[in-house]
Homo-oligomer: A and B are copies of this chain.
Amino acid sequence: MNDKVSDLVDQMKRCGYKVTNQRELILKEFTEKGGHLSAQEVYENVRKVIPHISLTTIYRNIEMLIDIGVLCPVELASASDGSALYEINRIHDHHHHLVCTKCGKIIEFNMCLFQEIGKKLSSITQFKIDEHRLKVFGRCPKCQHGR
């Protein structure tokens, strides 16, 4: 179990959840691929180690990990299929996504000019603003040919 995973396992413990092989492996998936994974993808990978794991367990634990702030949903209809994607919640690493509309490739970036808009917006609307997401769609270098 690498450092990243054990940090997250600790966080889970502190929240009163038990440590299971299933949970460790799910966390391992998210830290290793560093990526944007669907429940199905996590399932298929973890299954190589625990063949009898249930997809239900994946869904349940992703939800739990979102509750305690370890994961967060990527909030994109993942290009082709309609399933949700999740990633490690890097709370101090504000970032947005650039998505290729052809192949689904996701690039992260952290340029952001939201502060200026945010203040105006909350004074005009009287909303308490908690969060924002910028999604940019385009075609990656490989997918630019033939509209």
Rounded to whole Å, the gap between the CB of A109 and the closest CB of chain B is 6
Among the listed stretches A37-45, A61-69, A135-143, which one makes contact with chain B, having 4 or more residues with CB under 8 Å of it? A135-143
Set B122, B135, B137, B144: member contacting A138, Cβ < 8 A: B122
Q: Are A98 and B111 in contact (CB under 8 A)?
A: no
Task: Across the interface, name the chain B residue whose C-beta is closest to A134.
Answer: B134
Interface residues of A in 66-106 (CB under 8 A from B): 75, 77, 98, 100-101
User: Which residues of the partner chain B approach A116 to less than 8 Å between Cβ atoms?
Assistant: 113
Instruction: In the A-B complex, list the 9 residue pairs whose CB atoms are closest, starting with the nearest.
Output: A129-B138, A127-B138, A113-B113, A131-B137, A132-B136, A126-B141, A128-B139, A111-B117, A133-B135
Q: How far is the CA of A107 from the CA of B122 in the complex (A)?
A: 11
The CB with the most chain B CB atoms within 10 A, among A98, A116, A137, A138, is that of A138
Interface centre among A122, A125, A127 (most CB of B within 10 A): A127
Tell me the nearest residue of chain B to A116, going by C-beta: B113
CA distance A121 to B98 in the complex (A): 9
How long is the Cα–Cα vector from A144 to B126 in the complex, in angstroms? 10
Q: How far is the CA of A143 from the CA of B132 in the complex (A)?
A: 18
A130 within 8 A of B: yes
Nearest chain B CB to A113's CB is how many angstroms away?
4
Q: Beyond the given A113-B117, A128-B138, A129-B138, could you list 13 further A-B residue pairs with CB under 8 A, ordered by the A residue number?
A: A109-B121, A113-B113, A117-B134, A118-B136, A126-B140, A127-B138, A127-B139, A131-B136, A132-B136, A132-B137, A133-B135, A133-B137, A134-B135
